Structure 1
Amino acid sequence: MTGGLYWYMKDDLPSVAELREVRLQTPMQVYSSDGELIAQFGEIRRIPLRLDEIPATLQEAFLATEDTRFYDHFGIDPIGVARAFFQLMVTGEIQGGGSTITQQLARNFYLSFEQTWTRKIKEAFISLHMESQLSKDEILELYLNKITFGHRAHGVGAAAQVYYGKEVGDLTIAQMAMIAGLPKAPSTMNPISNPERARERRAVVLGRMLDEQVITRDQYENAVKEPVETRFHGPEVTMSAPYLAEMVRAEMVTRYGEDLAYNSGFKVYTTASAKQQRAAQLAVQNNLHAYDERHGYRGPEAILWEAEEDAWQPTQIREYLRDVDALGLTYPAVVLGVQDQQAMVLRGSGEPVTLRWDGLKWARPYMNAERQGAAPQNAAEILKAGHLIRIRLTENGWRLAQLPEPGAAIVALRPQDGGIAAAVGGYSFRISQYNRATQAERQAGSNIKPFIYSAALENGFTLATLVNDAPINQWNPGSGIAWRPRNSPDVYEGPIRVREALAKSKNVVSVRLLRSMGVNTTVEYLTRFGFAFDELPRNESLSLGSASMTPLEIARGYAVFANGGFLVTPYFIERIADASDTTIFQARPAVACVLCETEREVIQAPQVITEQNAFLITQAMNSAVWGGGSWQHKTGWNGTAWRIQRSQPIVRKADRNIVGKTGTTNDVKDTWFSGYVSGLVTTAWVGFDNLERALGSSTMNENLDSSEQEISGVEAGAKTALPMWIEFMETAVQDVSTEPFDVPPGLVSARIDLATGKLSRNSDYTTGFEYFLPGTAPTEYAEEGSSSSNIFDDEDSIF
């Protein structure tokens, strides 16, 4: 009869040999370039372990509870079968239990959990096959990695992590017993969902372990008394980079589909380093808090009780705060009381915190984007008992905080190959999953000017060419209004050299340069940097940055200047390994390399501008950081990025080899800074997601000195985005190349008169050396002719 049943069912039985190659459903894990876990994706949480990695006590706990004769039977335990048969005779129904570990494994891999004779018979046959082809240790290892433990945890490795945040080797005996008891009813007996039932089940397991002499009487007594203390633990993420992780997730689903991407155990190694990613996230968060504080305090998130009402008890407050998330750098707290210049608050953890005056005095009232109220004189002007607030921990202690309203992004690229070193798309991924680094198309403002100036050098201008920095009034007959682009600040210097005009971000000079080339020529040229032809405006506003671009697109464009003229393609996945750690994908990016044509193994990125042009624009943007002239002789001037000079960590590492350009739209809705050293290009952006909101302005807070509020006045790229760039680069620059930008072959250097751009025989503060393409250096000396003969004005151009 048994042979007949086997013959009848054999076509439906799977090949047990597959078990040796079985693919346990294992989540995708995303890592930084240096191996820190960024994220884990997949419905099933699993940490596959070898049997020798699982403590013997934990193994014995399962054997004592689930199958004491595991190493003695042949896959089916006759005693267990007899017990199940007896239950059938008594109840008339097939009962659960009685299955060996081998049978449970067979059911988990191949069968349903329905209580039918057909399933039971198939389960028995598969178990016999398993026992004939796998060793006992192999079966036990598969079982301990396959079994379900609730809360999406599969396998003992994941169970230890989910319930206790530990590796299996660090579990106590009580915790091992708790885990060993879960397979009976993982959804209803787990210690998170039902602590009391879990305690009862743990006691049963501990009793079995005592009966089987796995533990001593003393160990049993201590374990039974151990409190059931557990909570849900997420994956052991050691570096938070949710925006980057989501980029990886979307790309992996595109490549492999959801099932393979989430359940194949892929290990994805990104191009981002943990150190730089952390620095980028912190820079975004700190900078947004600084902006928010100088614009004023918007008040509590909620009022839990009024002054005339009874105050809440601490237990009630803690219960309420359990449902209020910590977000970004902030933690929710409730004000208990206020005394003069301090306030007492309670955190959800139960920790009382004293907010001292240094952490409160910034909080003058927010009026609107342009106005702030009077500086407070005491804590009662800011807070009252019952206020739900946020606080954040700084190096000077706890500080009153609020969730920043603007958005921000940082993206950093390796200019040689386009690898993304860091990417942060906002203050908190939990608040908004919108990745502003890659998705926010915002007006570029003056961040576009280096590309305009690059086009000008390609079309006959030099860094020494004088252009008229004077107001423009252009009548438009069609609209009946005049276009009057203005500098910011609204200051005009008359004839100015191209180098200085870019460093000072002169708007009217950018307009005149575009006019000299024509809009169409300029648009065509800008596509060399990877900007989409159809998305570039066909009017002169292009010269002031009316084109909308993402921070990643702008960073890619700046990388062309940093790497000598090559257009690299940004990428963020360096390597993909399968569940067995075999590399199945290795990135082979096209690289910026003048000599790559001689190296067969290297893919060369396309060269889109000359090395000489890239160097000249780099020189001009270097002046945006370091300025020029002679301060001693009162001719010195600063570029728009002069604040970088005050950053000792950057200057100490990079010396003067730092390059950058600010960007601000006319209505201050978008602020930018893009800059680089030889080994890293970084773009920073700050603005509101609501395109109608401007970043506004702030006045100095009377309670703060200049070290506490370094910025006031109208927000701008130099004030709003540049500090974020500086904070990030202070860390990032320590681990990247900061070599000088070598002078490429073909350029010539000539001493010029700084006022006229002509050659000079002098060697004093009125002169300086400038670089020129061959044949473009001036031939006239300053003292030999009129200084005005070399001035470009749009009235001289045809467009």
Structure 2
Amino acid sequence: MPSNKKKTHRLRWTIIILLSVMAGFALGLYIQIIHDLPPAESISFYAPPVSTKVYDDQDSLFTEFFIERRELANLSDVPDYLKKGFICIEDKTFYKHWGVDVKAIFRAAIQNILHLRAAQGFSTITMQLARNMFLTQEKTILRKLKEIALALRIERAYTKDEILERYLNQVNFGQGRYGVATAARYYFNKNVSALTLSESALLVALPKSPEYLSPYRYPEKAKARRNLVLKQMLNDHIITEEEYNTAVNEPLNVVEHKKGHSIGEYFIEELRRYLELKYGTEFLYRSGASIYTTINRNIQAVAEEVLEKHLKTIEKDYKFKITKTKIDSTGIPDTLNTTPYLQGALIITDHRKGEIKAMIGGRDFSQSKFNRATQAKRQTGSSFKVFVFLAALDNGFTPADLVLDLPIVLEIPGPDSIYRPANYDHKFLGPITMRRALALSRNLVAVRLIRIVGPDLVVKYAYDLGIKSKLLPVVSLALGSCEVSLAELTQAFSTIANLGEEKSLIMIRKIVNKDGTIIELNNPATEKKLSEQTCYLMVNLMRSVVDGGTGYEIRKFYKGPAAGKTGTTDNYSDAWFIGFTPHYTAGVWVGFDDNKTIFKGATGGVVSAPIWGEIMSRIDSLITDDFPVPEGIIWCKICPKSGLLANEYCPEPREEPFIKGTEPKEFCDVHTLETKLHGEEEFEKLDRSALPGY
């Protein structure tokens, strides 16, 4: 008898210990399940990541930044076919259970045991939402238990309709599209509210295996799955026999999406860097904000097409060996910066608004992310002469003044103490007007001018107009010895085009949060840098570069009013043209990343000006406006030989603009009745010592 009591006592303690162990195990498991689950309050405030939309200057969608490409839909906008279809296929008892379907769990367990594999699932819509919102996709018992616990919390936090709405905005439909609104837009180019029964059934079908059931890659499989959904909806009396027969015989009717090169990739990357730096990664990829930019889709597309066409022509004509950047096994280029083939960059602005309309930082964004329009700094060549001539015009010179185009030897600091600048053609034209000197890009005139006005003053004017890079106040600056970016030069030329009013170039018009709040509104900062009259004289001089000067190739394409300046470096490694019409300023650069020669004779006028001209002929051809003439400008008929008022004997007089009060008062003393009868030999005997820069 004592022995039985002893056994009973041992059994009782064994049971207690086993129950304690089981309770401890259960408690530990429970703690393991719930310890990293979100609290109930965070479930209530959860918002799925929504793509940030980028719009062009016409407020049309241009691109998106996203982790999951998604736009949200209200349940009231979702067709009954779509709502009931999902419930029919995914969770028939959705409106009856409390987050978990116990019968489904037992039913799935039996099937899985019979088949010795996971033959049937038991996730409810609430459990799927829990997984999609907060959990990973790993297939473990612990994750499934967490899914159940979280589903119970969600059911307490939301109503059934709220759960269904969140579920429909979370579902993955493939092709990077999440949520029924995004899927409807992508597959059918429709608002979700406009979906038909057949279209709704296809969307219900896709989440089972979005890639395997893709209507683009596997249309027959997608159609078979859609028809299966329709059959189930018929069996559940959601649709009628007639509706079923109509829908099951309809084609998929998904819209085609053209594959290929995306335009404006360098612009978008510049935009992305700005947004991420200012607002952070979370905002950039998950906020659902709307970014209204300045880019013009048509101008960008034309610019990319024309630039690539001209560069390919150069490569073909000069038999360049084209080698693409090598891509390693990770899919990353050997370098993110340089490429061995000919490159180009371009920026187009609407200088009246201070808006960037197009940006090209290179020929292939996938090969090189380096933006040659904003990040590269190259020697400017003769395009920098504009700042020298502008400083001269603002300090007493006029377009008709004569300056010597003759050899000059200068002593400069440093080991090479003798500086002998030369003209491109190694010829000399003697005394010529400011207009002709700029039109023909005479180096020796530019050197004389910078010596007269002073390198420090030229640097000041360049900075005032928008140059940011460091400039050394040396005489060689007149010939473009400095290194600046295309963006800086385009900004500076935009200021000239605006008659001295600097407008900081912008890429973003406004940023609107998903709740409609404007968080950034950009009106370009405006500052008066130079007088309208001085800048108009400069604009007028720069027109001669296009009309009969080094930029004459433009006229093969563009016939409207245009002004600009070519630029070429000594070894033909950089070819520039920066110019403007009354509406647009555009800068074009062509060269190799490693600074090698493009080809002998590759000047800005030969290489870059035709690109500029063809682009303008396609984006600005209907513009009839001319450059506005400000008050205070008068016109006089001038003799280009003397720079004085033309008399009746001057053979080629020219109308020239002057700031009122600076016009010449004397008549030409070169052309007289005697020179008309005997020629102009006497002109060569003039005392040149009085000419500027002698």
1:606 is paired with a residue of what secondary structure? Answer: strand
Superposition deviation, residue 104 in structure 1? 2.6
Aligned equivalents of 2:473, 2:577: Cα separation in 1: 24
Matched residue, 2:168: 144
Counterpart of 1:125, as a letter, is L
d(CA) in 2 for partners of 1:120, 1:451: 69
Query: Is 1:639 matched with 2:549?
Result: yes
**1:45: Cα distance to partner?**
1.8
CA-CA distance at 1:482 after TM superposition = 4.7
Q: Distance in 2 between matches of 1:23 and 1:763?
A: 83
Aligned residue for 1:719? Answer: 606
**Alignment of 1:257 onto 2:280:** yes
SS of 1:673's equivalent in the other structure is strand
Would the aligned equivalents of 1:28 and 1:266 in 2 still touch at CA under 8 Å?
Answer: yes
Which residue in the other structure is 2:439 paired with? 503
1:695 maps to 2:598:
yes
Please state how far the C-alpha of 1:689 moved relative to its aligned partner.
Answer: 1.4
Q: Write the distance in 2 (CA, Å) between the matches of 1:766 and 1:189.
A: 78
> Are the counterparts in 2 of residues 38 and 239 from structure 1 also a CA contact under 8 Å?
no
Contact (CA 8 Å) 1:62, 1:180: kept in 2 or not? yes
Q: Does 1:272 align with 2:207?
A: no
Residue 178 of structure 2 corresponds to residue 154 of structure 1: yes
Seq. identity, %:
32
Counterpart amino acid of 1:264? Answer: S
1:122 deviation in Å? Answer: 3.0
SS, match of residue 684 in structure 1: strand
| Residue among 728, 732, 743 paired with 2:615 | 728
Q: Structure 2: how far apart are the matches of 1:127 and 1:478? A: 78
- Provide closer, same or farther for how the CA distance between residues 429 and 480 of structure 1 changes in structure 2, counting only shifts above 3 A: closer
Query: 2 CA distance for matches of 1:431 and 1:152?
Result: 24
Paired residues of 1:465 and 1:790 also in contact (CA < 8 A): no
8 Å contact from structure 1 (residues 149, 183) kept in 2? yes
1:539-554 matches, cutoff 5 A: 539-554=474-489
Contact 2:404 2:430 in 1 (8 A): yes
Aligned pair partner of 1:767 in 649, 653, 660: 653
Equivalent position of 1:618 in the other structure:
539
Q: CA deviation at 1:585?
A: 2.0
The one-letter code matched in structure 2 to 1:483 is Y
User: What SS does the aligned partner of 1:287 have?
Assistant: helix
- Report if the CA contact (8 A) 1:25-1:263 is conserved: yes
Contact 1:239 1:278 in 2 (8 A): no
In the alignment, what sits opposite 1:348? Answer: none
2:501 counterpart SS class: coil
Contact kept? 1:37, 1:239, Cα under 8 Å: no
Select between 284-293 and 782-791 the one with higher mean Cα deviation. Answer: 782-791
AA aligned to 1:510 is A
Query: Which whole-Å CA distance do the structure 1 matches of 2:260 and 2:321 have between them?
Result: 33
Distance 1:428 1:160, change over 3 A: farther
> 1:125-159 CA distances to partner (integer Å, 9 max, x unpaired)?
324324xx5352x4323211112345643223445
Structure 1 residues 549 and 256 mapped into 2: Cα distance closer, same or farther (>3 Å)? same
Partner Cα distance (1:612, 1:676) in 2: 17
* CA–CA separation in structure 2 for the residues paired with 1:564 and 1:172: 58
Separation in structure 2 between the aligned mates of residue 575 and residue 422 of structure 1, nearest angstrom: 18
Deviations 1:376-401 (A, max 9, x none): xxxxxxxxxxxxxxxxxxxxxxxxxx
For residues 480 and 254 of structure 1, do their structure 2 counterparts lie closer, same or farther at Cα, with a shift above 3 Å needed? closer
Deviation at 1:109, TM superposition (A): 2.8
What are the Cα deviations for residues 578-602 of structure 1, in whole angstroms up to 9, with x where unaligned? 2345433221222xxxxxxxxxxxx
| Alpha carbons 2:642, 2:670 under 8 Å: kept | no
| 1:241 to partner: Cα distance | 1.3
User: What is the CA-CA distance between 1:759 and the residue it aligns to?
Assistant: 2.6
Q: Report the equivalent of 1:609.
A: 530
37-46 or 740-749: bigger deviation: 740-749
Structure that is richer in helix per residue: 2
Deviation (angstroms), 1:419:
1.1
2:522 aligned residue (576, 581, 587):
587
Which of 174-183 and 150-159 deviates more?
174-183
Alpha-carbon spacing, 1:548–1:25, altered in 2? closer, same or farther (3 Å): same
The residue number in structure 2 matching 1:316 is: none
1:295 to 318, 329, 339: 318
Deviations 1:761-799 (A, max 9, x none): 438643233233354333333228996457666764xxx
Answer with 48-57 or 489-498: which moved more. Answer: 48-57
Alignment of structure 1 residues 9-158 onto 2, 5 Å: 14-15=39-40, 19=44, 22-51=46-75, 53-73=77-97, 75-77=99-101, 79-80=103-104, 83=107, 97-110=121-134, 115-116=141-142, 119=146, 122-130=149-157, 133-134=158-159, 136=161, 138-150=162-174, 152-158=176-182
Say whether residues 1:240 and 2:263 are aligned partners: yes
CA contact (8 A) 2:448 2:693 kept: no
- 1:450–1:125 distance in 2 versus 1, CA, 3 Å: same
CA contact (8 A) 1:54 1:168 kept: yes
CA contact (8 A) 1:45 1:154 kept: yes
Give the whole-Å Cα distance in 2 for the aligned partners of 1:726 and 1:732: 10
Q: CA deviation at 1:444?
A: 1.0
Q: How far 1:456 sits from its partner (Å)?
A: 1.3
Distance of 1:795 and 1:660 partners within structure 2: 25
- Note the C-alpha offset of 1:566: 1.9
- Aligned-pair CA distance for 1:521: 2.9
Deviations 1:458-514 (A, max 9, x none): 233221111111233446695467533222233321110011111111111111111
**Following the alignment from structure 2 to structure 1, what is the Cα–Cα distance between the partners of residues 607 and 670?**
46
1:704-715 aligned within 5 A: 714-715=601-602
Supply the distance in 2 between the matched residues of 1:190 and 1:292 (Cα, whole angstroms). 41
TM-score by length of 1: 0.69
Q: Give the whole-Å Cα distance in 1 for the aligned partners of 2:179 and 2:656.
A: 68
Once residues 261 and 88 of structure 2 are traced to their aligned partners in structure 1, the CA distance between those partners, rounded to angstroms, is 36
Task: Describe the shift of the 1:13–1:520 C-alpha distance in structure 2 as closer, same or farther (beyond 3 A).
Answer: closer
CA contact (8 A) 1:675 1:682 kept: yes
Extract unaligned runs of 5+ from structure 2.
1-29, 325-330, 332-338, 672-681
Question: Structure 2: how far apart are the matches of 1:445 and 1:151?
Answer: 48
* Residues 511 and 518 in structure 2, CA contact (< 8 A), matched pair in contact too: yes
CA contact (8 A) 1:672 1:721 kept: yes
Deviations 1:741-773 (A, max 9, x none): 333333443332221112334386432332333
One-letter amino acid of the counterpart of residue 546, structure 1: S
**Greater Rg over alpha carbons, structure:** 2
Q: What SS class does the counterpart of residue 527 from structure 2 fall into?
A: coil
Question: Quick one: distance in 2 between partners of 1:539 and 1:715?
Answer: 26
Residue in 2 that maps onto 1:682: 586
Query: 2: CA distance between counterparts of 1:17 and 1:247?
Result: 35
Q: Summarize deviations over 1:620-661 as a string: whole Å, max 9, x none.
A: 0112223xxxxxxxxxxx2222233343xx43xx4xx32121
Kept in 2: contact 1:272–1:572 (CA 8 A): yes
Amino acid at match of 1:24: P
**Secondary structure at 1:674's aligned position in 2?**
strand
Local SS of the residue matching 2:311: helix
Match of 1:782 among 651, 668, 688: 668
1:731–1:22 Cα change, 3 Å: farther
**Aligned twin of 2:13:** none
Greater mean deviation of Cα atoms: 671-680 or 115-124: 115-124
Q: Which runs of 5+ in 1 are unaligned?
A: 302-323, 325-402, 591-604, 627-637, 698-713
The size of the alignment, in residue pairs, is: 636
Once residues 531 and 10 of structure 1 are traced to their aligned partners in structure 2, the CA distance between those partners, rounded to angstroms, is 58
Question: What residue in structure 2 maps to residue 629 of structure 1?
Answer: none
In 2, the alpha carbon distance for the partners of 1:450 and 1:765 equals 29
Higher mean displacement: 575-584 or 187-196:
187-196
CA distance in 1, matches of 2:438, 2:235: 83
The Cα shift of 1:41 comes to 1.9
Cross-structure match for 1:671: 575
Range moving further from structure 2, 472-481 or 579-588: 472-481
Residues in 2 aligned to 1:218 and 1:293: alpha-carbon distance in whole angstroms: 63
Q: Is the 8 A contact 1:679 1:738 kept in 2?
A: no
> Which moved further from structure 2: 465-474 or 714-723?
465-474
Question: TM-score by structure 2 length?
Answer: 0.79
